[in-house]
Chains A and B, each alone.
Chain A
Amino acid sequence: AQTVTQSQPEMSVQEAETVTLSCTYDTSESNYYLFWYKQPPSRQMILVIRQEAYKQQNATENRFSVNFQKAAKSFSLKISDSQLGDTAMYFCAFVRIQGAQKLVFGQGTRLTINP
């Protein structure tokens, strides 16, 4: 079974700073996807960024980028020039390519951006 671990329950940074959220996972699969989801106080689950395991290049989406280390089974999220609107819970998630592609989530990191 796959597991996803986020070792930072809470983080806090000042606006405009850069912050990195950690995620590690355990799997015997060779092909899979990894995701970061954002959950603001409104409770919506918003897809931030995704990475395909067979791609060497790290994914980027505007101020959001990942550091994907397949051998180490590590998938960290970097938020550059952080904004107040980035305040949210962030969840790392894993999904196998085969089958119904059921998401396995980490426990989450509560990120607070301070003015």
Chain B
Amino acid sequence: NAGVTQTPKFRILKIGQSMTLQCTQDMNHNYMYWYRQDPGMGLKLIYYSVGAGITDKGEVPNGYNVSRSTTEDFPLRLELAAPSQTSVYFCASRYQGLNQPQHFGDGTRLSIL
């Protein structure tokens, strides 16, 4: 049972570089989410998706883009990395329906220098 898999686990970027954080789940979940967690804080929602081809903004979407071409994958794209994007990024997924908990990946620690 792989669950939610995020890659890479760690990454250091220079200001202005771009990268894609990968997230894949093997549970056939409709809903997927990207969160960021700044030091000493709770998670904040960046983007989410309710199914393949459907995405929407969360609380803090600026500087990020997402796509959902398949049920399994939900990559997060940083186009022009900025120091304010230094954070730990979590991907999560869940079944459609009431009272279904979100399952989280192990996170990606990203530093922008």
Contacts and interface: CB of A to CB of B under 8 A. Distances in A.
B58 A102 contact: yes
B50 A100 contact: yes
Given A101-B94, A102-B45, A102-B58, A45 B104 contact: yes
B101 A52 contact: no
Given A100-B56, A101-B31, A102-B33, A47 B101 contact: yes
Interface residues of A, number: 22
Contacts of A44: 104, 106-107
By DSSP majority rule, is chain A's interface helix, strand, loop, or mixed?
loop
Contacts of A74: none
A35 to B, nearest CB: 7
30 contacts: A42-B106, A43-B88, A43-B106, A43-B107, A43-B109, A44-B106, A45-B90, A45-B104, A50-B99, A52-B99, A91-B43, A100-B48, A101-B31, A101-B94, A101-B100, A102-B45, A102-B48, A102-B58, A103-B33, A103-B35, A103-B43, A104-B45, A105-B42, A105-B43, A105-B44, A106-B42, A107-B41, A107-B42, A108-B40, A108-B41
Contacts of A35: 101
Contacts of A107: 40-42
A35 B50 CA distance: 21
Interface of B: 31, 33, 35, 40-45, 48, 50, 56, 58, 88, 90, 92, 94, 98-102, 104, 106-107, 109
A46 to B, nearest CB: 8
A103 B41 contact: no
Nearest to A105: B42
Contacts, number: 52
By DSSP majority rule, is chain B's interface helix, strand, loop, or mixed?
strand
Given A91-B42, A108-B40, A103 B102 contact: yes
A52 B50 CA distance: 22
B79 to A, nearest CB: 23
Contacts of A97: 98
A64 interface: no
A103 B99 contact: no
